Amino acid sequence: MPEPSLKTVVVNREPSPRPLWRDVVHKTTLWFHAMGLSPYYRYGEIGNLLYTFGKSILEGAVLYTMFSMAQSEFKVAAILGVLTKYFYPGITFISNVKVSSFVDYLERYTDTRTQVRRLIRAMALVGGGQALGAILLVLCYPPFFTSLFGTSAAGRYVLIALYLLHHICDGSAQVAEGRIWFKLIEIKLRNGRLQRISENFWGIHAMSQNIQLFAGLILLWAATLVTGLFQDHLGHTVMWGIVSCGTLLTAFSKFSLPLAWKLSLHRQEHEGE
């Protein structure tokens, strides 16, 4: 009798997940790679990083001193905290509805170049909103606020109005920017001709968020620490330098991509980059 034939059974095994540190290194490498390959992503991420740096520095210098002034001189620190907590869901709701309608409107265009052009114009509007938010926040810095509005009884209402307007401008711009920027990089990275980047789109996006998160926390704590050391000398040159740096970075950061588009990227798009 012939011996039974032996059949080889092939078992498909799922690839084992990378250790966390290797995954972080891999995604960070891809993030840098994406910035090198796509000028749209590069200039947009530069703007995101500059905004994170500026906003963290500005908040570290202003929020601590502003709430101290609000509590000691105007007794409205609790009101500021509560009102912004109640207002922010409304800001998010309205911004989400408007931006989602805008993105849905863009989906009618089959030409991605038209979509990109309109998204970059929207990014310029977002930059304007965040710049206005930065100006409103720096007006709450105690030496600036005192010189402009004094310490009269009406000052408490001005302080509340300035801080709420800051949240309305900056908060709505942040919500809008998140949706608009995601749509833009989805077009340029995920649906583009960059295969390796497309396959790792979500990892790159998550790593970008993590880098901004950690950089923002470090700068926020550093600015808060320096502000605490100069708490009795807020008019010192060091403090004005920190506040000015944070304000300028925040105000001009998100115009990096629209400016690059105006100078060169629109010509590359027209030539079919």
Q: What is the pLDDT of residues 139-192, one digit of tens each?
A: 999 998 988 887 677 888 888 899 999 989 998 898 888 888 888 888 877 766
As separate numbers, helices (DSSP H) first and strands (DSSP E) second, the chain gives 12, 0
Cα atoms in the 13 Å half-sphere on the side-chain side of 241 = 5
Tell me the one-letter amino acid at 83.
L
Instruction: Give backbone dihedrals phi and psi of 159, rounded to 5 degrees, phi first.
Output: -60, -45
Average pLDDT for 225-250:
92
Task: Take residue 89 and report the two structure tokens written for it.
Answer: 């869901």
Question: What per-residue confidence (pLDDT) applies to 273?
Answer: 46
From the number of C-beta atoms within 10 Å of its C-beta (0-12, 13-18, 19+), residue 189 rates as buried
More confident site: 21 or 202: 202
Average pLDDT for 104-128:
87
Going by pLDDT thresholds of 50, 70 and 90, the confidence category of residue 201 is confident
Question: What per-residue confidence (pLDDT) applies to 192?
Answer: 62
Tell me the one-letter amino acid at 37.
L
CA distance 147 to 59: 20
Q: Is the pLDDT of residue 3 over 60?
A: no
More confident site: 132 or 197: 132
* Selection from 26-35, 130-139, 151-160 with the highest mean pLDDT: 130-139
Q: Which pTM value belongs to this model?
A: 0.85
